[in-house]
């Protein structure tokens, strides 16, 4: 009888034991993959958001740091203002290569244009912008005209309509940016001219007029001169421009990073407990199986089966069940996280982007290894003990 | 096969019952027409249609748990897989749910139905596949 057919018979021979091992491998692999997916997805999302902003420093009105960060990361609209003259002051700070102002606005609640109740509107200055313009040039070869906009991945033109209607103003959606898993996915970007035109039209056509504070801006994105430390430039801005807070790019979204670190600790603790309990349970199951099969293994040895053959057949049983359970757990975990990603974002309050195929394959491999190591570790001692027992003694019991 | 039947019954109950508590109608949301009348959003019709899938699926699960003939299990497996596919298609393509990500019908009801429908399909196809092997239990 071949090793594989003996293993298969053993698996089918005790369905309850096999199901317990299968389910333990499923839980360990599924849980390990799900938690890693969430943490990696959130980290990936933060990285993409920073890359999308493309700024070394973001200058916001003093005291509005968390409002702006929440707007950029979670898409919760924020309207903050600072004098437009700050723009000139920031540009004059040594080490500043480019400074570009932005206006942060908000739609009316429950607008029909998009998949979110409140859409975050970002107006930018095409003359100085380095966030949207390079993407537009690459994609369409020209800039946005009056009345045109680009949206995050969740922005769409309502079915049956030609344009997005905002404050009674028709905006033509020129394209959608790649997903980041952050609030930028539910933001609409257009030029300052479009924002002013929208505000003008809104006075006569909208339920509530769009208010833009005169001679004001919401934030300034800064790129520093290559070779200059962003920290030094940020200090320079802090001294030269009163009433503003410069946030360096690596320090952005600190509140969310702390929240994620807390979440990581909790999930790691839960993962460790689950893993340890599963290994103990599997160890017990394999020990019971080894005791149950003492006579059977004794007969097998008496018929000429070598110790290595018995040891290998027991380990092969564990490996097969671990691979099957691990694969099922990974498929279930990844599919569930993918389906419930929107619920995760809203309930955990963190950004999340499902990983692409290559990183996902690495995580899947990792999950399978965890399941394999857990089950094999638990089966190792009982398999060694039973394969080294004296066949004569075992058959007499 | 009893355990398979019981799992299918549990999934059928999820498919039929869960949407009734997660559609916009149950959350007090409806579309207001120009004349002031309120009409249900499309996720409500998906929830109603899922009852029509869940009820026969309960019967199918019971039959699968009780059946002893291979041919019966094979036929039930195929029908179960089709019902599972429709449980997915109703919220994902045929009727749909509301567009906003933050609505319960979009963030919870649709994923729950897709997950339950997928499990129904996998289990039914498993029952179909296993009906080709093993010994047939002769009816008493």
Number of neighbouring beta carbons within 10 Å of residue A375: 31
Is residue B46 a part of any domain in this protein? yes
Rounded distance between C-alpha atoms, residue B112 and residue A278, angstroms: 27
* Mean pLDDT score of chain B: 91
Is residue B25 a part of any domain in this protein? yes
- Four-point Cα dihedral B126, B128, B130, B134, nearest 10: 160
φ and ψ at residue A169, rounded to 5 degrees: -110, 130
Rounded distance between C-alpha atoms, residue A389 and residue A302, angstroms: 12
What residues of chain A score a pLDDT lower than 50?
none
State whether A340 and B106 contact (CB < 8 Å).
no
State whether B108 and A346 contact (CB < 8 Å).
no
State whether B115 and A346 contact (CB < 8 Å).
no
- The reply to whether A115 touches chain B by the CB within 8 Å rule is yes
Give ∠ CA B106-B111-B113 in degrees, rounded to 5. 110
For residue A176, the surrounding DSSP H or E stretch is strand A169-176
Given this model, what pLDDT does residue B19 score? 95
In 3D space, the residue among B13, B11, B20 whose CA is nearest the CA of residue B104 turns out to be: B20
Q: How confident is the model at residue B140 (pLDDT cuts 50, 70, 90)?
A: very low
- The reply to whether A154 touches chain B by the CB within 8 Å rule is yes
Name the token pair of A326.
Answer: 């691990």
Nearest residue, CB atoms, A115 vs list B99, B111, B115: B99
State whether A335 and B118 contact (CB < 8 Å).
yes
Tens digit of pLDDT for each residue in B91-104?
Answer: 999 999 988 887 89
Distances, alpha carbon A321 to alpha carbons A308, A328, B130, in Å? 20, 11, 18
Neighbouring residues of B41: CB distance < 8 A, sequence distance ≥ 6: B23, B24, B25, B29, B30, B31, B98, B105
- The reply to whether A116 touches chain B by the CB within 8 Å rule is yes
Rounded distance between C-alpha atoms, residue B39 and residue B29, angstroms: 9
Is residue B99 a part of any domain in this protein? yes
Q: Which residues of A touch B114 (CB under 8 A)?
A: 339
Parallel, antiparallel, or unpaired: how do β-strands A219-224 and A96-106 relate?
antiparallel
State whether A343 and B102 contact (CB < 8 Å).
no
Q: Which residues of A touch B108 (CB under 8 A)?
A: 340, 343
Interface mutation target, options B1, B28, B100, chain A, most CBs of A under 10 Å: B100
Q: Which residues of chain B are at the A interface, by a Cβ-Cβ cutoff of 8 Å? A: 99-102, 106-108, 110-111, 114-115, 118
Rounded distance between C-alpha atoms, residue B90 and residue B70, angstroms: 30
Is residue B79 a part of any domain in this protein? yes
For the stretch A312-316, contacts whose Cβ atoms lie closer than 8 Å and that sit 24 or more positions apart, written own/partner, are A312/A3, A313/A3, A313/A6, A313/A7, A313/A10, A314/A286, A314/A290, A314/A379, A314/A382, A314/A383, A314/A386, A314/A387, A315/A376, A315/A379, A315/A380, A315/A383, A316/A3, A316/A4, A316/A7
Is residue B137 a part of any domain in this protein? no
According to DSSP, the residues that pair with A223 across neighbouring strands are A98
Is residue B136 a part of any domain in this protein? no
Given this model, what pLDDT does residue A109 score? 63
Nearest residue, CB atoms, A116 vs list B101, B108, B115: B101
Distances, alpha carbon A82 to alpha carbons A91, A148, A251, in Å? 15, 26, 21
Given this model, what pLDDT does residue B139 score? 53
State whether A115 and B100 contact (CB < 8 Å).
yes
- The reply to whether A16 touches chain B by the CB within 8 Å rule is no
- The reply to whether A9 touches chain B by the CB within 8 Å rule is no
Is residue A274 a contact partner of residue A80, using CB atoms and an 8 Å limit?
no
Rounded distance between C-alpha atoms, residue A339 and residue A105, angstroms: 31
- The reply to whether A340 touches chain B by the CB within 8 Å rule is yes
Residue B20 lies in domain:
2-130
State whether B106 and A342 contact (CB < 8 Å).
yes
Q: Residue A116's closest chain B neighbor by CA?
A: B100
Number of structural domains in chain B: 1
Is residue B49 a part of any domain in this protein? yes
Given this model, what pLDDT does residue A232 score? 93
Is residue B12 a part of any domain in this protein? yes
Neighbouring residues of B89: CB distance < 8 A, sequence distance ≥ 6: none
In 3D space, the residue among A369, A358, A366, A363 whose CA is nearest the CA of residue A334 turns out to be: A363
Rounded distance between C-alpha atoms, residue B86 and residue A297, angstroms: 49
- The reply to whether A343 touches chain B by the CB within 8 Å rule is yes
Q: Which residues of A touch B120 (CB under 8 A)?
A: none
Nearest residue, CB atoms, B111 vs list A116, A117, A339: A339
Given this model, what pLDDT does residue A18 score? 87
State whether A339 and B115 contact (CB < 8 Å).
yes
Interface mutation target, options A34, A115, A161, A328, chain B, most CBs of B under 10 Å: A115
Quick one: B44 exposed, middle or buried, by C-beta within 10 A (0-12, 13-18, 19+)?
buried
């Amino acid at each position: 009888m071949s090793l594989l057919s003996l293993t298969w018979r053993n698996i089918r021979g005790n369905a309850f034991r096999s199901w317990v091992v299968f389910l333990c491998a499923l839980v360990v692999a599924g849980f390990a993959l799900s938690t890693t997916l969430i943490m990696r997805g959130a980290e990936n999302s933060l990285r993409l958001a920073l890359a999308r902003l493309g700024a070394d420093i973001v200058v916001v009105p003093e005291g509005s740091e968390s409002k702006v960060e929440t707007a950029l990361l979670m898409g919760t609209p924020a309207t903050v203002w600072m004098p437009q003259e700050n723009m000139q002051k920031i540009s004059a700070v040594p080490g500043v290569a480019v400074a570009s102002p932005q206006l942060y606005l908000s739609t009316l609640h429950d607008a029909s244009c998009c998949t979110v109740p409140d859409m975050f509107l970002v107006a930018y200055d095409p003359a100085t912008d380095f966030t949207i313009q390079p993407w537009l040039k690459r994609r369409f070869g020209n800039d946005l005209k009056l009345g045109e906009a680009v949206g995050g991945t969740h922005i769409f033109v309502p079915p049956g309509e030609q344009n997005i209607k905002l404050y009674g103003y028709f905006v033509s959606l020129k394209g959608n940016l790649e997903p980041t898993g952050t609030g930028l996915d539910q933001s609409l970007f257009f030029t300052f001219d479009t924002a002013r035109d929208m505000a003008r039209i809104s006075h006569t056509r909208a339920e509530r007029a769009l208010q833009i504070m005169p001679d004001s801006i919401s934030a300034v994105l800064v790129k520093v001169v290559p070779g200059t430390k962003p920290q030094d430039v940020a200090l320079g801005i802090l001294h030269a421009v009163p009433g503003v807070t410069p946030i360096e790019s690596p320090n952005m979204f600190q509140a969310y990073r702390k929240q994620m670190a807390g979440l990581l600790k909790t999930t790691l603790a839960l993962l460790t407990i689950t893993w340890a309990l599963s290994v103990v349970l599997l160890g017990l199951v394999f020990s019971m199986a080894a005791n149950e099969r003492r006579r059977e293994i004794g007969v097998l040895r008496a018929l000429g089966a070598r110790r290595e053959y018995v040891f290998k057949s027991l380990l092969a049983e564990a490996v097969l069940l671990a691979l099957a359970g691990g694969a099922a757990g990974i498929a279930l975990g990844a599919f569930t996280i993918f389906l419930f990603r929107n619920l995760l974002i809203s309930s955990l309050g963190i950004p999340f982007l499902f990983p692409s195929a290559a990183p996902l394959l690495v995580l899947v491999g990792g999950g399978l290894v965890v399941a394999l190591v857990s089950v094999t570790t638990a089966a190792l001692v009982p398999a060694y003990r039973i394969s080294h027992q004296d066949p004569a003694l075992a058959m007499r019991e | 096969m009893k355990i398979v039947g019981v799992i299918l019954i549990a999934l059928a109950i999820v498919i039929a019952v869960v949407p009734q508590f997660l559609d916009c109608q149950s959350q007090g949301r409806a579309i207001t027409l120009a004349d002031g009348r309120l009409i249900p959003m499309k996720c409500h019709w998906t929830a109603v249609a899922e009852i029509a899938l869940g009820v026969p699926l309960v019967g199918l699960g019971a039959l699968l748990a009780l059946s002893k003939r291979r041919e019966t299990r094979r036929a039930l497996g195929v029908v179960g897989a089709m019902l599972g596919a429709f449980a997915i298609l109703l919220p994902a393509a045929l009727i749909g749910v509301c567009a906003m990500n933050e609505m319960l019908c979009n963030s919870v009801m649709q994923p729950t139905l897709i997950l339950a429908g997928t499990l129904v399909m996998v289990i039914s196809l498993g029952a179909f596949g296993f009906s080709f092997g093993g010994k047939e239990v002769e009816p008493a």
